[in-house]
Amino acid sequence: MAEIDKPRREVDVPGDWTYASAPESRDIVHIRDRYGYYVGGEWLEPAETYETISPRDEEPLAAVGQATAEDVGRAVAAARTAYADGWSSLPGSERAKYLFRIARILQERSREFAVLESLNGGKPIKESRDVDLPLAAAHFFYYAGWADKLEYAFPNRRPRPVGVAGQIIPWNFPLLMLAWKVAPALACGNTVVLKPAETTPLSALLFCDVLRQAELPDGVVNIVTGDGRTGAALVESEDVDKIAFTGSTEVGKEIQRRLAGTGKRLTLELGGKAANIVFDDAALDQAVEGIVNGIYFNQGHVCCAGSRLFVQESIYEPLVAKLERRLTTLRVGDPLDKNSDVGAINSAAQLEKIRELVASGVEEGAEIYQPPCVLPEKGYWFVPTVFTNVAQSYRIAQEEIFGPVLSVLTFRTPEEAVEKANNTPYGLSAGVWTEKGSRILWMAQRLRAGVVWANTFNRFDPGSPFGGYKESGFGREGGRHGLEPYLEFDE
Ligand code: NAI
Ligand code: MG
């Protein structure tokens, strides 16, 4: 028998191709037992603390201060002193140096920050590593570049800083939202008191260490922690000149009422219920990737998430089939595992809200699809979910779920797509998938949304302004537009 004809010995082929876990080491992060407030370059001891945990297993991470109105007052006073003592009159080129330094230090320490962000917030490490951290550093780089060019950004308008900015941020992108708020404020010569969200304070507290490394003058950035009461105290603080808020529409409205008539400046970046619209000439596999990225990125804890999918009727069946098949390949699990696509839900309260809205969808008559999926026993988890057979009036088509839950609806004509997409109190973002450039422009002109993505979704760049219409808020962050809320003009 010729050599080649010999029967081959059976090779041992593994039958199971699931990924082995690849956990990121957490040794790089040192979490203290207890944190105070960072005020005037010093750590203030808190009178009262609460425990911040990891949503992946409810492990306690640290005791964090619950700042009182008095603590907030100290932070605002420190910011005022730093403002008057030189920061506001420092040449822009000098302010830029600090911002460049902060950007570089964030890059150098990015792994440490990424691990901490995933640990405290629940987002998969591949997102904190590849999205949150690079973008946060990019924001500081970008606004460093504007600091000495404000007169060119606003010719003949004599830009000058507003004063002390009070900034309140949410838990879905803790460090990135800090960067969106702090970078433009400092570039324009303001000083800052920032309050991170109660469930995710740790990256903001680690950022204080970056400020020290960068030798930012004391009091230019102050960080106070605590829940909504601390936020409310910051809003009400008399010596704050401007409030910047990102969070729920409910709290945004409350803040706007509180500030009415005070003369304080305000920007609000609130909720969303974005339409992701797929036409029958779109590249379907690419669209499926965009839909998945649009709603399952960061467990759907994204204000601009593509939570309403509008599919042109002729491609409804193949698209939904592809989408459901794709869902079976999403790996839900440990945020610190480099193979995880979907991490933990941020908090018990948020998980409860998602469950309640999903139950309402089933009750109202929508059809639910969830891929087979084994969830960890401890911690807060929700299986990526798709609802079909959704009517526009259902709560899952109207309310922000802020979780990994997609509602699929259909349309026939571009006019109908626009009408249905705009049928929401929100207006933060939208996506359009089509081969036709002219149709993209036609749609973008008619969609009432601050950002319209074409053949992509959830793309961010510091040079591109972001913000809403209607109940999604007002004011823009990012780009040259993002400077304006932090400047006064002599006109
Ligand atoms: P929230 O609006 O209560 O919290 C956001 C921030 O505001 C936190 O730092 C919080 O401590 C602070 N805050 C709460 N009450 C305040 C008050 N009266 N005055 C000043 N600051 C206050 O949002 P929450 O309760 O965490 O989430 C509820 C829902 O809001 C979510 O399910 C989601 O639908 C939406 N949301 C939207 C976000 C967005 O990026 N647009 C971010 C977070 C939540
Ligand atoms: Mg709340």
Cβ(280) – ligand 1 distance below 6 Å: no
Q: Report the separation in Å between the CA atom of 318 and the middle of ligand 1, taken as the mean of its atom positions.
A: 38
pTM: 0.96
Closest CA to 20 of 331, 329, 327: 331
- What is each CA distance from 403 to 58, 342, 369, in whole angstroms? 19, 11, 15
State whether the beta carbon of 168 lies less than 6 angstroms from ligand 1. Answer: yes
Structure tokens at 142: 């970008």
Q: Ligand 1 atom closest to Cα of 272?
A: 41
Tokens read off for 271: 């909720």
Q: Which residues contact 339 (CB under 8 A, 6 or more apart)?
A: 19, 20, 21, 22, 331, 333
How many angstroms separate the first and last alpha carbons of the chain? 96
Q: Which range is least confidently modeled, 10-14, 37-41, 142-146, 463-467?
A: 10-14
Partners of 77 in the beta sheet? none
- Using alpha carbons, select from 193, 241, 180, 238 the residue that is nearest to residue 479: 180
373-382: pLDDT as tens digits: 999 999 999 9
d(CA 287, CA 278): 7
pLDDT category of residue 399 using cuts at 50, 70 and 90? very high
Ligand 1 pocket member 271 (CB < 6 A): yes
Ligand whose nearest atom lies closest to the CA of 347: 1
Looking at residue 438, its pLDDT comes to 98
Q: What is the pLDDT of residues 448-481, one digit of tens each?
A: 999 999 999 999 999 999 999 999 999 999 999 9
**Geometric angle at alpha carbon 490, from 488 and 491, rounded to 5°:** 120
Residue 17's pLDDT band (boundaries 50, 70, 90)? confident
DSSP assignment letter at 10? P
Mean pLDDT score of the chain, rounded to an integer?
96
Average pLDDT over residues 416-430: 97
Mean pLDDT of 345-349: 98
Return the higher-pLDDT residue of 14 and 246.
246
The more confidently predicted of residues 13 and 146 is 146
Q: How many helices (H) and strands (E) does the chain have?
A: 16, 20
What pLDDT shows up at residue 2?
A: 58
Question: Largest Cα–Cα distance of the chain, in whole Å?
Answer: 97
The pLDDT of residue 16: 78
What's the pLDDT score for residue 10? 72
188 is catalytic: no
CA of 136 to the centre of ligand 2 (A): 24
With H, G, I as helix, E, B as strand and everything else as coil, classify residue 470.
Answer: helix
Q: Find out whether the beta carbon of 306 lies less than 6 Å from any atom of ligand 1.
A: no
H helices present in 302-425, as ranges: 316-327, 348-364, 395-398, 414-421
Q: What is the pLDDT of residue 15?
A: 79
Rg (CA), the chain: 24
Q: Choose the catalytic residue: 269, 471, 477, 484.
A: 269
- Our answer on whether the CB atom of 387 is closer than 6 Å to any ligand 1 atom is no
Residues 270, 251: Cα–Cα separation, whole Å: 9
pLDDT category, 228, cuts 50, 70, 90?
A: very high
User: What phi-psi label fits residue 389: left (phi over 0), alpha (psi between -120 and 50 degrees) or beta?
Assistant: left
Reply yes or no on whether 45 is catalytic. no
Ligand with an atom nearest the CA of residue 251: 1
Ligand 1 neighbourhood includes 231 CB (under 6 angstroms) = yes
| In contact, 200 and 31? CB cutoff 8 Å | no
Give me the pLDDT at residue 4, please: 61
Residue whose CA lies nearest to ligand 1 atom number 15: 228
- Which pair of structure tokens corresponds to residue 219? 């009091």
Query: How many CB atoms sit inside 10 A of residue 435's CB?
Result: 12
CA-473 nearest atom, ligand 1: 41
SS3 35: strand
CA of 100 to the centre of ligand 2 (A): 34
